[in-house]
Amino acid sequence: MLATESFLEKKFEMWPGLLRFSASGEGALSALDLAMDTARAICDSLMSDAELLSRGSLDVLPRGAAARHALEAGRIVSAALGAQPAPPLLVALPGAVCDLVLAGMRDAGGVDAACVTLGDACSYFASPDGLMPLGMPPVGQEFARSLDGAGYSGGIALGGAAHVFPTSGIADLVAAHSVSGAQSALLVASVSDMMVWRGAKARRGRIVDPFVAQAFSGQTLAEPVGLVPPEDIWEVLSKGARRASLLRDKRLFTACAFALKGRGRIVAPVGSGLGGDRLLRFGVSEWR
């Protein structure tokens, strides 16, 4: 079980919400200053790059390092999926921002643990002696704790109904841990989009964010659902498990967990430490 300690935190407003970064250790203040400088530099090209990525093409050259990092993650996931559709590239951009800001913080030195979050994406690292930053969302932190030694660094992303990016599936929650926040975000979106249900209603409301609206144009999106028959719940979860297993076989993530109406599935290598009884914040009473 990972321990926690007090940490310092700063915030910075940027698309698509509020960037939060925290750190602990002797170099925490310097790390936060570097994080702020990195965030300001990213903002110089973020909006134009978000518009560029929202078009969905892999054959583009973004101005900023964050968008280039998102593009590289998109190419990796697209190659793993082959002929199957990949999530919109824009999904990876918040995680890519987190990855770059975290890298800047680590350059400060003297940091025991650090965490950067933006939207539903998170990048973090914790020292081997068990210090875990508290800046990530509670569900993400529970997920990281469940990974034991495998969860001391990397990226975690959350998705599903009522999260930042819309989805074609009906999962209540999807979480994935991989080497980066950008890659984790794409993996979550890919699994979530596969968890479709024939009884779901198509989303009809207008997407307010113009970048998100353009990125998801032409894609059938699902409204959050109410009651789902038990046999359909397991069918939907199985669809997610098949997609997650494909991505696991490509070694793109450490672990993935997803939940629907109190039931859930876990796709993770043996020995990862992830178990259903360790993920209480998912609100799941039965895991497979």
Mean of pLDDT values over 218-225: 88
Domain locations in the chain as residue ranges: 3-287
* pLDDT (tens digit per residue) in 107-137: 888 888 899 999 999 999 887 665 666 667 7
Q: Which residue has the higher pLDDT, 109 or 20?
A: 20
Mean of pLDDT values over 64-71: 97
Predicted local distance difference test score (pLDDT) of residue 288: 73
Burial letters 178-187, b for 16+ CB under 10 A, else e: bbbbbbbbbb
Residues 3-287, CATH architecture: Roll (3.10)
Question: How far from 168 is each of 39, 163, 241, CA to CA, in Å?
Answer: 31, 12, 16
Q: With a cut of 80, say whether residue 12 has pLDDT above it.
A: yes
Predicted local distance difference test score (pLDDT) of residue 226: 87
- As a whole number of angstroms, the distance between CA 94 and CA 101 comes to 11
Q: What SS3 string covers 235-247?
A: HHHHHHHHHHHHH
Q: With a cut of 50, say whether residue 3 has pLDDT above it.
A: no
Confidence label for 1 from pLDDT (cuts 50, 70 and 90): very low
Question: How far from 82 is each of 63, 67, 78, CA to CA, in Å?
Answer: 27, 22, 6
* pLDDT (tens digit per residue) in 161-208: 878 899 999 999 999 999 999 999 999 999 999 999 999 998 888 899
